[in-house]
Amino acid sequence: MAAGIDDIAIYIPRLYIDASDFAKARGLDPVKLQKGLGVSQMAIVDANQDPACLAANACLKIMQNNKLSPEDIGRLYVSTESAFDESKAMNSYVIGMLEQVYGQGSFEHCGGIETKFACVSGSYALYDNANWIRADEADGKAALVVVSDIAKYDMGSSGEMTQGAGSVVMLLNDKPRLLEFDPKVTATSIKDEYDFYRPFGKETPIVHGQYSNMLYMIQVRKALEAYKKKVIKTGLIKMESGDTILDHMDYINMHLPYSNMGKKALAYLVRHEWRQLPRWKRILKEIGMEEPVPKDPRGTIESVLGDQEFMTKDHEFTKLFTKTQEYQEVYEAKLSSSLIASTMIGNLYTASLYLGFRSSLEFEYQKGVDLLGKRVGFGSYGSGSSAMVFSGVIQPGFEEVVKNMNLESELGDRRRLTLDEYEDLHENKLTPENSMIHSKKEFVLVDVKTDEESRGERRYVFNE
Ligand code: CAA
């Protein structure tokens, strides 16, 4: 039985901080954010929003767009790394909110859990729910997989310029209009690491920025190697000599903690794939320098990062490599459209890969590309750490879904925060009743109880 993504919807908070305002306040060169990281605006949650209401707002949208009733949904999973409870799963809050609209008990039949593995857990949730459908357990129902996060870093830290917030929901079924997952090729890699983590009770993560960048690329590459083996074993793709697996992906969506991380990761993967091929000689000639190697090629990530001479040369080599015509063609055709939304919204942790997929569909369609039958590869990464590589093929019904995508109108009237407003929100100085926007037709957080008996209980309403 087939399984895949039938539709996709997003919910992005309407407050944002502009990269130029942020850079000025922190004494940074705005070009570092805009060109160096690919960050123009970062979406920020209002005082009456949390990751559960972002998720519920996205779910309501996809249900209304598709005229779905709760009876049509058999599973609702929420993947997040912004959990606010150690036991009660975020999907229970989401169900509670949706039942305010669809009626008490209307989702009673629906199963689901909250999944956690930093930014990769949404990909595991998609995989598990696709398998639920493939196993014919769904009884004609669809699954909703919601990825929802608030990417928030300590004030003044280097991560602060890579924040964002929002939610993406995907409707999964056995006759997907948008994308059918390729069966039996999903591949993973996993390793106990401390590149980025958030200990109990801490609102913001502890981050080893450059280490996390490098680990991301290494882990995704390992998962890509495993994917390649499965593709060859299953015969899904016929590889000719001189081909790389990436030649057989029309689009490549990467996890986007900031949009240029997608560029960095693609360059890393392409470079490692091409190194084995006859075309590499020609590329090296165009670059005009030898590919640098670290002093200790078998060393740890720390030893490579500490090898200043290598890092400088490697940086120079990468820059030249990404300027070669052959690489530029791959970048423009396979990745560039996926980066547009990230630049305008920022990091969504679990949701950022799927915001990128959504962005790629909309902007490739606008270019006039016929998406039917195109193979889409996904490179998912979660700190701590695990990567997943999988793929799918765009289906005949795609146009019905993609023609209505309009990021600008979905973002709506955004409000540019002043630095003071942003800092008050960041430091949790405002309570829900002091929200900056009075939203309509949305779920909002009203109250979090603080008394001994019911501490942590959250109350939400649907603003008519
Ligand atoms: N003009 C133009 N470009 C500039 C510039 C300037 N004035 N100054 C710097 N740049 C460029 C740099 O050359 C660099 O480009 P390259 O990557 O091509 O080399 C880029 O801007 C960033 O500069 P730095 O690497 O010096 O930036 P930094 O070290 O201060 O911070 C960061 C970058 C490490 C990503 C930091 O923002 C951070 O820690 N972020 C959070 C962690 C993170 O996002 N990790 C990603 C992998 S882990 C993951 O993906 C999970 C997740 O979602 C968090």
Question: What is the structure's pLDDT at 99?
Answer: 98
Which residue has the least CA distance to atom 47 on ligand 1? 213
Please report which confidence band the pLDDT of residue 332 belongs to, taking 50, 70 and 90 as the band edges: very high
- Report residue 77 as tokens: 């999973």
Q: What is the mean pLDDT of residues 91-104?
A: 98
Closest Cα partner for 122 from 324, 349, 307? 349
Ligand 1: centre distance to CA 134 (Å): 40
Atom of ligand 1 nearest to the CA of 352: 53
pTM for the structure as a whole:
0.97
Of 40, 37, 20, 41, nearest to 260 (Cα)? 37
Write the DSSP symbol of residue 36. I
Burial letters 27-39, b for 16+ CB under 10 A, else e: ebebeebbeebbb
Mean pLDDT of 144-153: 98
Residue 349 CB less than 6 A away from ligand 1: yes
CB of residue 35 inside a 6 A radius of ligand 1:
yes
Bridge partners (DSSP) listed for residue 76: 144
Return the pLDDT at 213.
98
Tokens for 380? Answer: 């998912």
Model pLDDT for residues 35-59, shown as the tens digit of each residue: 999 999 999 999 999 999 999 999 9
**Percent of the chain surpassing pLDDT 70:** 100
Residue-level pLDDT at 118: 98
β 415-416/114-115 pair status: unpaired
Q: Which amino acid is at 104?
A: Q
Residue 151 CA to residue 149 CA, distance in Å, equals 6
Q: How far is the CA of 36 from the centre of ligand 1 (A)?
A: 7
Q: For atom 18 of ligand 1, which residue has the closest CA?
A: 36
Handedness of CA 260, 261, 262, 264 (dihedral sign): positive
pLDDT of residue 166: 98
pLDDT of residue 82: 98
Taking only the tens place, the pLDDT of each residue in 414-454 is 999 999 999 999 999 999 999 999 989 999 999 999 999 99
Question: How far is the centre of ligand 1, averaged over its atoms, from the C-alpha of 220 (Å)?
Answer: 18
* pLDDT at residue 217, as a whole number: 98
Q: Which residues of 215-226 are buried (b: 16+ CB within 10 A; e: fewer)?
A: bbbbbbbbbbeb
Per DSSP, the residues of 174-204 read: SS-SSEEEPTT--EEEE----SEE--TT-SS
Question: Cα–Cα distance between 227 and 317 in angstroms, integer?
Answer: 27
Nearest-angstrom CA–CA distance, 244 and 258: 26
